[in-house]
Structure 1
Amino acid sequence: MRCSKEATRLQSNKAVIAFHIFFILFSLLFVLPFLLIIAISLSNEEDIMRLGYRLIPEHFDFTAYRIVFENPDQILNSYMITGAQAFLGTFLSVLVMSMCAYPLSRTAFRWRSPISFYIFFTMLFSGGLIPSYILITQYLHMGNTFWVYVIPGLASAFHIIIFRTFFQGLPYEIVESAKMDGANEFRIYWQLILPLSKPVLATLSLLGVLGRWNEWFRALVYIRDEELYTLQYLLQRILMQAEFIEQMADVMPAGYGENFKIPTETVRFAMAIVAAGPLLFVFPFFQKYFVKGLTIGSVKG
């Protein structure tokens, strides 16, 4: 009997070890592409053209990073602009959307259905780019200002609906108990609802930061001052300039274009590392809430 128990336990341990090995190897599939991007960004352009992409560079070359950081003050300023608009915009956005969703989650709110339909309607139709440009630049006077990154995107109809769905899943008895103790609606929202909503707050905050960090279209349309360029738009301009110089070098007479050769392929991957690097340190802080937050929309319609 004792031998059979030990055999069963040994067999169980082998199965656990096998599962661990499988998932470790499976996890490496997600790490290898990132390592490949780093390797390509540190490779020599001629080696890539001759040998293709390799996980271990034939020759290490930092030319791509020297091109990206040719003007370090501008890169640092774009980092500051991008970080400020991403985190400030996300904080204000989450605050505004949660405050909008809270009354919509209350069945006693009289205008709940019309306002919910109005918010949903904006997911189907929008004003378009030209009316939005006229509104933002000529009426709100936010063109070529920092606030054009923050204010126009404060509310997302889809995220408001997610907030409302999560709030509806919270026990209503908590609200009733707080009312019996004399708490008003804002105190209930601020001291009870928000602390219980960490999964949805963390999930939508992470999605908001990711979206705003990768923002470049607003800079293209509304920004003319180089001091207000976001990181993504600045990197795009650097890449376009590098590709233009590369094209000019190709059409120049033989012997003259060699001095203008720029490693555009490795520059692309170096830009990916420069742009994505900071967010790799942000995600672990949201990870424990992120998985739970992904299932919010399936709890209640």
Structure 2
Amino acid sequence: MNGMSKLNRIKPLTNYMFNLLFVILSLISILPVVLVFMASISSETSIAKYGYQFWPEEFSFVAYSFLWNERASIFQALFVSVCVTVVGTALGVLLTTTMGYVLSRLNFRGNGFYTWVVFIPMIFNGGMAANYVVVSKFLHLNNTIWALILPLCVSSFNVIVCKTFFRTTIPDSIIESVKIDGGGQLTIFLRIVMPISKPLIATIALFLSFGYWNDWFQSSLYISNKALLSLQAMLNNIQKNIEYIANNPSAGVSLQQYKNSMPTEPVRMAIAIVIVVPIACVYPFFQRFFIKGLTIGAIKG
């Protein structure tokens, strides 16, 4: 026993190197966010003269004041992003887990056919034009919130992950015992499979929520109504053309005056912070289940 304990013991130097590596990786992840935040509270002249700095020559909160003056459109876009993320994640988890569970059952007659139906789009797809025609011409989802939700709702990769998890983690004996007791497939799925699959659900929910929250492309394709633009789409429009906000002034000033008073670079950085903070606050609640979901398939016995 002492021999095995000594064999598995990490040497102090190795432990120190691992800790140093994790500190470096943490800094690589955190410092860009810190730099963006510092740029958002820098003055326009400081950025123009010295560039982005971790400690700017001149501080200014004009960017956040500007966003507060535009709070009507910002909060509207934030509301759209939150609604799309919450509804899309819930619907996506429901559809993905049900599809994965059905495909994991070997006695399902259409198992082979539907597995290929799910797998092929993961390798090949119809392209952007076909997707646009289906969503806009056949489903008529243009300028509706469903155009931001349904195209990203189900991913072939997530379905395959669910299928593999259910096949390798849920024992057939449990399902058979419930069937003997008279339980149907819906009862098995809701009362047996789902409670056991919390790590999987959290992992899929995290993937979906990140995808919905960071998406701006669907808005650029299907949304022309400004009231339905997500926060990310608004940021993308600002980055492409700062006149997007200038064309919607909230004060009774001329367009040129409004543009001249606009701190362009700090505003872009401030909106980036506004986008990052909500999802960063949510992630710690998923982290425990996310890590368990990634590692559960590697543990046997």
TM-score, with length taken from structure 2: 0.82
**Amino acid of the structure 1 residue aligned with 2:125:** S
- Paired residues of 1:169 and 1:299 also in contact (CA < 8 A): no
The 2-side partners of 1:24 and 1:236 are apart by 33
Paired residue secondary structure (2:131) = helix
The 1-side partners of 2:83 and 2:149 are apart by 9
Mean alpha-carbon deviation: is it higher for 118-127 or for 26-35?
26-35
> Would the alpha carbon gap of residues 235 and 67 (structure 1) be closer, same or farther in structure 2, given more than 3 Å must change?
farther
Paired residue secondary structure (1:102) = helix
> Would the alpha carbon gap of residues 296 and 160 (structure 1) be closer, same or farther in structure 2, given more than 3 Å must change?
farther
Alpha-carbon offset, residue 146 of structure 1 = 1.2
Q: Which residue of 1 aligns with 2:192?
A: 192
> Would the alpha carbon gap of residues 21 and 109 (structure 1) be closer, same or farther in structure 2, given more than 3 Å must change?
closer
Q: Map of 1:94-105 to 2, 5 A cutoff?
A: 94-105=93-104
The 2-side partners of 1:145 and 1:137 are apart by 10
TM-score, with length taken from structure 1: 0.82
**Amino acid of the structure 1 residue aligned with 2:54:** L
The 1-side partners of 2:128 and 2:143 are apart by 16
**Amino acid of the structure 2 residue aligned with 1:200:** L
Which structure 1 segments of 5+ residues have no match? 1-11, 247-255
Alpha-carbon offset, residue 129 of structure 1 = 2.2
Q: Which residue of 2 aligns with 1:147?
A: 146
Q: Which residue of 2 aligns with 1:287?
A: 287
Alpha-carbon offset, residue 103 of structure 1 = 1.6
The 2-side partners of 1:44 and 1:190 are apart by 55
Q: Map of 1:1-301 to 2, 5 A cutoff?
A: 22=20, 25-26=23-24, 27-170=26-169, 171-242=171-242, 260=260, 262-295=262-295
> Would the alpha carbon gap of residues 125 and 275 (structure 1) be closer, same or farther in structure 2, given more than 3 Å must change?
same
How much identity, in percent, do the aligned residues show? 36
Alpha-carbon offset, residue 78 of structure 1 = 0.8
> Would the alpha carbon gap of residues 299 and 140 (structure 1) be closer, same or farther in structure 2, given more than 3 Å must change?
farther
Alpha-carbon offset, residue 102 of structure 1 = 0.7
Query: Number of matched residues?
Result: 280
- Paired residues of 1:235 and 1:271 also in contact (CA < 8 A): yes
Q: Deviations over 1:21-46 (max 9, x none)?
A: 74784434433322222111111222
The 2-side partners of 1:18 and 1:52 are apart by 36
Q: Which residue of 2 aligns with 1:253?
A: none
Alpha-carbon offset, residue 139 of structure 1 = 2.0
The 2-side partners of 1:298 and 1:110 are apart by 29
The 2-side partners of 1:21 and 1:129 are apart by 45
> Would the alpha carbon gap of residues 277 and 107 (structure 1) be closer, same or farther in structure 2, given more than 3 Å must change?
same
> Would the alpha carbon gap of residues 49 and 297 (structure 1) be closer, same or farther in structure 2, given more than 3 Å must change?
farther
Paired residue secondary structure (2:270) = helix
> Would the alpha carbon gap of residues 244 and 71 (structure 1) be closer, same or farther in structure 2, given more than 3 Å must change?
closer
- Paired residues of 1:43 and 1:57 also in contact (CA < 8 A): yes
The 1-side partners of 2:115 and 2:238 are apart by 44
Alpha-carbon offset, residue 281 of structure 1 = 1.1
- Paired residues of 2:238 and 2:244 also in contact (CA < 8 A): no
Alpha-carbon offset, residue 245 of structure 1 = 10
Larger radius of gyration: 1
Alpha-carbon offset, residue 15 of structure 1 = 8.0
- Paired residues of 2:135 and 2:141 also in contact (CA < 8 A): yes
Mean alpha-carbon deviation: is it higher for 263-272 or for 112-121?
263-272
**Amino acid of the structure 2 residue aligned with 1:276:** V
Alpha-carbon offset, residue 177 of structure 1 = 1.8
> Would the alpha carbon gap of residues 163 and 264 (structure 1) be closer, same or farther in structure 2, given more than 3 Å must change?
same
**RMSD of aligned Cα (Å):** 3.1
